[in-house]
Structure 1
Amino acid sequence: MTLTAGFAAAPAARAHTTDPSDPQASAATRDVRDWLTHLSNRAHNRVVAGQFAGYSGKTFSLTQVEELKAQTGAYPGLVGCDYGHDGNAIDHTCNATLKDWSAAGGLVTVSAHLPNPDQPDWSGLFTKLPTFDRLTDRGSGTGQRWHAELDRVAEGLRELADANVPVLFRPLHEMNGDSFWWSAQNPQTFAEVWRDMYTYLTDVKGLHNLLWVYAPDCGYGNRSGFYPGGAYADVVGLDCYVREPAAVQGYDELVALGKPFAFAEIGPRSGSGGTIETPLDYGKWIDAIRTRFPATAYFMAWNDQWRPTANIGAGRLMNDPWTIVRGEVATAARTEGVPAPVGTPVPLADFESDTQGWGGYRVLAGPWSVTEWSAQGGRSLKADIDLAAPEAYLNRVAPLDLSAYRALTATVRTAEWGNHATGTTAKFYVRTGAGMAWYDGGAIRIGPNGAVLRLDLSRIADLRDVREIGVLFTSAPGASGRTAVYVDDVAAIAPPAALAGFESGTDGWTGYLTATAPVSTADWASEGVRSLRAEVDPAAPEAYLNRRANLDLTGRRVLSAAVRAAAGSGTAKLYVKTTASNTWYDAGAVPVGPDPRTLTLNLSGVGSPQDVREIGVQFERRGGPGQGSVFVDDVTVR
C-alpha cells in the first residue's frame, strides 16, 4: 500500500525475495537490494545512516566520518564518494577507502558530477546542455565525449566490482531541478539517456555490482516524470536541503514507483556561496522519517558545512532506535513483513512531535501539538473553537491510500470550559476522489472524558484516492463561549491477514524429519482451498513443518495455525524460536487426528518477539502402520 506523507503507517508485507533490475547482478548486490527492501518490515534498526565523504582526488576523506564517530559513538552504515566535479577530471582514487569500508561491514554509494560533454571545464557543470539528445548518438561528438566519460567511470566501478563491492550508483541526480547540465531536460529524452547509460555500463561494460539510484530534487516538481522505468532503477530517493524535514514533499510520488526509498542527500538549506542560513537540527530528520517517511531505507548527509557535526542533533540522529550504523549492516538478515492482523491498529497520526500536517478550519486558534491531554503517548492535537459557530474541523488534506484497511478510529474530547448546551458532537470523516465525496461515521456526543470515533471503510468507494481525513465538531443549539477540542491516536484497522495460507505454494515452509518434502495440496484446507501436507513415518518420534525467517512480532498477541493428521493419533505443538540462540517457546502438546484442530500460542510470554527466527508445528509420535499425512494451514497472527 502507499501512504501519504504526514501519516506514519506500517508498510505492506514485503515478498520474501526481491530482485534487482540487473538479472545478472552479483550475489552480494542482490543481497543488498533485497535487504534494503525488507528494512521497513522491522520495528527498529530500519534506516541506514550515511555520510558523504567528498569528491575523489580532491576533498574525499574519512576525517568528517571519524568526527561523526567521535561525537556520536557510531560510524554511519554508508559512506559516499563522488567521481566527478572538478573541471574535466573523473577520479576514482577513493575506491581504496570504499573497499576497506565495505570489508569492515559498511555500504558504499557513488555519485558523479560528470563534466559537460560540450564544455569540459568548471563552468560547464552548471550550464544546461542543449545537445542532450545526442548523448545516445555515438556518432556525434557529444555522444563520443559522453561515452568516453562513462568509460572512465566504468574503470572505477570495475575496480569495485572486482573486489565484490556492491555500489549504490547515483548518476544524473536532481534532474528535475536547474542546477546541472543534465537538469531540466526533456523528461522523455532524459529517460532514454538513462536507459542507454544503464545498458552501456551493465551490458557492454559488464558491471553487475550496481544498484541504480534515481534521485530527483525534492524542492522541484515533476519528481517522477524523468523516471526511466523499473527495469532501469533499483532505489528511488530525494535530495533535500531544507529547514524543516517534516515539510518535505515528494515522498509519496517516489514510493509509488515501487522501489526501496532513500533520502539520497540531506542537509540544511544554504544561500549564496554555500553559507548555511540556519543550523539544522538533524534530530528532526529522524523524527520526520519515523512519523512521515517510514519507508525510508537509508539517508546520506552531505559533508562540510552541511554535515551533522557542523550543525546540531547528530547524536539524536545516529543513536535513534531506527538508525542502522556500521556494525549493524547485515544484508543476509532479512525481516519478513507481517501484515497487520484483524483489529490491530496501524498508527496514522499521534501528534507526538508536531501537528503532522493536520490543520484547522473554522477554528479560532491552532491547531497545536500539546501535552495537556492525550489518549496515548504524551501529546495530542488541540484547537480553540467558538461554540456559537455551528461547526469546526481538524483535518489533514493530502492524498492517502486506505484500500488496505477496513476502519478508521480516533479519540477525541472537548475542554471543560464553555457553554456546550446539550452537548458537542463529533464525526470522523473522509473525502475521496476528485469530487471530494464525503463519508462519515455518524455523530457521537463528546465531552471532557473523551470518546472513540470509528468510521467503517467497507462501504466507501475510491479508498485508493482519499483526499482528506478529519473530525467535524458540531456545536449544539444555544451553545456559546470559547472552548478547546482535541484529537489523538488516529489509526487504521487492518483486515484479516495470514502469515501463510499455502494457496500458491509452500510459502517458504519446509519439513524436518518428514518422510517427504512438504507440498501445497488441495486434499484439505481450513481456509481457502489448499494447505501444506507432508508424509511422516509413525515409527519416527517426531517431525516438523516450519519456516526459517526473520520475523518481527512486536505488539502481536496470538499466533495460530490449523492442523490435522490423516490417520492414527499423536500430538502437535505450535512453536517459535527467537534470537540467534534459537530459544524455543511452544503452546504445549495438543492431541491431533483426522478432525482439524486450531493451535494457538500466546505471544505475551515470548522473549524477543522482535527477533523471531523460526515458526513451525512439531508433530509427535502417532500410532498406526505405514506413512501418514500431516497438514498445516491458515497460519495467522493477531
Structure 2
Amino acid sequence: MKNKIRILLIGLIVATFYQAEAQKTNTKSSLLDKKATRKTTILYKNLQKNINKGILFGHQDDLAYGVNWRYEAGRSDVKEITGDYPSVYGWDLGGIENKSPINTDDVPFDKMRQYIIDGHERGGVITLSWHFDNPLTGNDAWDTTPKSLASALPGGESHEKFKGWLDEAAKYMLTLKDKKGRLIPILYRPYHELTGTWFWWCKNNASPEEFKTLWRFTIDYFQQKGLHNLIYVYNTADFNSKEEFLEYYPGSDYADILSFDKYQYSDPIIDNSFIESCQKQFKIMNEVAKEENKIMAFAETGYETIPYDKWWTNTLMKAIGDYKISYVLVWRNHGWQEKENKMHYYAPYKGHKSEADFLKFYNLDNILFEKEAAKECLYNRYFIKLFNIKL
C-alpha cells in the first residue's frame, strides 16, 4: 500500500511539473497547424525554449556522403572531427515530383528515409527543402520562365500537374516514421530563398499575392493529406528592409519559423561585408520575429571549401552575433563536383585547415551538436516513457 501511495505521489509531482512546463511554453506562439502531432508540438516548444540556451548546428546531407566517401554507414565528416553528429540534418525532396529514385543531390530516397529515421532516433532535428522542377516547362528549379508560378495556382494551366507533385511529396513524407510508427516531426522550408531571382518561385517571377496564394495552398493541401508533423519555415535570401522581408510573407497563421540564407563569397580577412550584411538582416528579422511572436533560424550558410581557417569562430559567430536563433545549417559536403570542375563542401573534414577552429566552435557553450541537443529533450522523453503517454 505504501509503495502505491509513493508511486502516486511521485506521479503527481512529476505531472504537476510537466503541466507547469507546458503552461510556460503555451505563453509563446503555437504551431500554425492546430492538428499538429504531439511529437511535433514538443519539438516546436523545445526549439522555443532552447534559443536561450544555444544554437543547434546543422549540416545538409551529413550522413549520405562527405569529402571522398559516399554511403558508408555511420560516417559523417562532422562526427570524424568532433566525435558528435550535427543536431540538425538537412535533406531535399527535389526529384520526388517525378518519382525519381534519387533526389536532386544524388541521394536515393530509400537511403534518405533511413538517414532521417536514424538521425531522429538519436535526437536530431530534421529539415526538408524542395528543389522541385518548374511546373510550367518541366525544366529544373532554376528555370525562371515567366508566369511559371502563376501556372501552378488554382485555375492555372499546370495546377493539376502541380497537385500531383504535392501528392508525391506527401506520400513520401507520410513514410517518415519512427520505430513505433509515429510521424517524425519535420522543419519544412518550402519555396526557399524567395527574395532571390534564381528559382521559378522567386519574387521576380510572381506578385506578392500570387506567392502568398501558392504558399497557403501548399500548406492547406498538405494538411488535407494528413501531414500534421510539419513545422513551416519561411525563408528568404537578401533583403534590405522590414518591408522587403514582409512583402511576400504569407501571414502569422501560415509560418512557424522565420529565416534567411546567406553565403560567404569574398575573403573574410579583407572583406567584412558578410558579417555586416548578416547582422543587418538579423536585426530586421529579429524585429519582425518579436512582432510576429516567432523564432528565427539561419537556414543555410557556408563558405565553399572554407579557405579561411578561423571562419567558424571569427566569421560565422560574428555574423550571428548576439541574436537568438534556433539553428544554423551549412550546406553539403559533396566533394568533387564534375559539372563545375571543383571541390564543393561547406563543413570541414578530418585534416582540413579549419579543423582546429571547428573544434573550438563545437566546444562553445552556445553551440549545440546532437549529444547536447538531445539532452534538452530528455525530460519530455522521461515523462513520456514513465507514464506511457501516446504522442
TM-score after normalising by structure 2: 0.70
Map of 1:81 onto structure 2: 91
Name which of 307, 313, 332 aligns with 2:346. 307
2:113 is aligned to 95
Q: Of Structure 1 and Structure 2, which has the larger fraction of its residues in helix? A: 2
| Counterparts in 2 of 1:199 and 1:86: CA distance versus 1, 3 Å | closer
Aligned counterpart, 2:168: 152
Task: Tell me, in whole angstroms, the C-alpha distance in 2 between the residues paired with 1:119 and 1:56.
Answer: 30
1:272-295: per-residue Cα shift (whole Å, max 9, x none)?
A: xxx8786771223552266342x1
The correspondence of residues 487-498 of structure 1 with structure 2, limited to 5 A, is none
| Residue number among 170, 193, 199 corresponding to 2:220 in the alignment | 199
Are the aligned partners of 1:177 and 1:220 in contact in 2 as well (CA < 8 Å)?
Answer: no
Distance (Å, rounded) in 1 between the aligned partners of 2:70 and 2:209: 34
Q: Could you report, residue by residue, the CA deviation over 1:389-413 in whole angstroms, capped at 9, with x for unpaired residues?
A: xxxxxxxxxxxxxxxxxxxxxxxxx
Counterpart amino acid of residue 281 in structure 2: G
Which one-letter code corresponds to 1:120 in the other structure? Answer: G
Partner residue in 2 for 1:72? 82
Aligned equivalents of 2:63, 2:147: Cα separation in 1: 26
Q: CA deviation at 1:33?
A: 0.7
Matches of 1:160 and 1:86, distance apart in 2: 14
Residues 479-530 of structure 1, C-alpha deviations (whole Å, 9 max, x = no match) = xxxxxxxxxxxxxxxxxxxxxxxxxxxxxxxxxxxxxxxxxxxxxxxxxxxx
Q: Is the 8 A contact 1:53 1:65 kept in 2?
A: no
- Quick one: which of 194, 206, 218 aligns to 1:175? 194
Report the Cα distance in structure 1 between the residues aligned to 2:138 and 2:366, rounded to whole angstroms: 43
Q: 1:267–1:177: structure 2 CA closer, same or farther, 3 Å change rule?
A: same
Structure 1's unaligned 5+ residue stretches are 1-12, 336-638
Shift of the alpha carbon at 1:100? Answer: 1.4
Contact 2:62–2:89 (CA under 8 A) maintained in structure 1: no
Q: Which residue of 2 aligns with 1:187?
A: 208
Match of 1:251 among 269, 272, 282: 282
**Residues 83-108 of structure 1, C-alpha deviations (whole Å, 9 max, x = no match):** 10699565433112101110111111
Q: Is the Cα contact below 8 Å between 2:82 and 2:359 reproduced in 1?
A: yes
The within-5 A match list for 1:18-167 is 18-42=29-53, 46-53=54-61, 66-84=76-94, 88=98, 91=103, 92-93=109-110, 94-122=112-140, 125-137=142-154, 139-160=155-176, 162-167=181-186
CA contact (8 A) 1:25 1:209 kept: yes
Which amino acid in the other structure matches residue 246 of structure 2? S
Query: In the alignment, which residue of structure 2 is the partner of 1:216?
Result: 236
Aligned partners of 1:96, 1:205: CA distance in 2, in Å? 22
8 Å CA contact retained: 2:187, 2:232: yes
**C-alpha spacing 1:252/1:97, structure 2 compared with 1 (3 Å):** same
Give the SS at the match of 1:282: helix
Q: Higher Cα Rg: structure 1 or 2?
A: 1
Alpha-carbon separation, structure 2, partners of 1:334 and 1:100: 21
Q: Does the 8 Å CA contact 2:97/2:169 hold for their aligned counterparts?
A: no
Distance 2:325 2:25 in 1: 14
Aligned counterparts, 1:577-616, within 5 A: none
Distance 1:276 1:49 in 2: 16
Q: Distance in 1 between matches of 2:252 and 2:63?
A: 29
| Contact 1:224–1:254 (8 Å) recurs in 2 | no
- What is residue 6 of structure 2 aligned with on the other side? none
- Given residue 30 of structure 1, which amino acid in structure 2 is its aligned partner? T
- For residues 375 and 167 of structure 2, what CA distance do their matches in structure 1 show? 32
- Equivalent AA in structure 2 for residue 250 of structure 1: Q
**CA apart distance, 1:72:** 2.0
Relative distance call for 1:86 and 1:32 in structure 2 (3 A) is: closer
Distance 1:191 1:129 in 2: 17
Q: Does the 8 Å CA contact 1:29/1:210 hold for their aligned counterparts?
A: yes
Residue of 365, 374, 378 corresponding to 1:321: 365
Using CA pairs below 8 Å that are at least 6 residues apart, which structure has the higher relative contact order?
A: 2
Q: 1:285/1:157 Cα in 2 relative to 1: closer, same or farther (>3 Å)?
A: farther
SS of residue matched to 1:125: coil
Pair 1:148–1:69, CA change in 2 (3 A) = same
Alignment of 1:509-524 (within 5 A): none
1:39, CA displacement in angstroms?
A: 1.6
In the superposition, the TM-score normalised over structure 1's length comes to: 0.44
| C-alpha distance 17-48 of structure 1, shift in aligned 2 (>3 A) | same
C-alpha displacement of 1:308: 2.1
Alignment of 1:372-391 (within 5 A): none
Q: Which moved more, 1:108-117 or 1:301-310?
A: 301-310
Contact 2:135 2:148 (8 Å CA) reproduced: no
3-state SS of paired residue (1:119): coil
| Partner Cα distance (1:65, 1:288) in 2 | 30
* Match for residue 232 of structure 1 among 241, 251, 254: 254
What do residues 408-461 of structure 1 show as CA deviations (whole Å, max 9, x unaligned)? xxxxxxxxxxxxxxxxxxxxxxxxxxxxxxxxxxxxxxxxxxxxxxxxxxxxxx
Q: Secondary structure at the match of 2:49?
A: helix
- Superposed CA RMSD in Å reads 3.2
Percent identity over the alignment is: 23
- Could you tell me how far 1:212 is from its partner in structure 2? 0.5
- Distance across 2 between alignment mates of 1:146 and 1:152: 10
Q: Matched residues in 1 for 2:199 and 2:81: separation?
A: 34
CA distance in 2, matches of 1:84, 1:211: 19
- Using a 3 Å threshold, how does the CA distance of structure 1 residues 86 and 25 change in structure 2: closer, same or farther? closer
User: For the residues of structure 2 that align with 1:114 and 1:200, how far apart are their CA atoms?
Assistant: 17
Counterpart of 1:177 in structure 2: which amino acid? G
1:56 & 1:129 partners in 2: Cα distance? Answer: 35
Tell me, in whole angstroms, the C-alpha distance in 2 between the residues paired with 1:140 and 1:60.
41
Task: Please state how far the C-alpha of 1:65 moved relative to its aligned partner.
Answer: 6.3
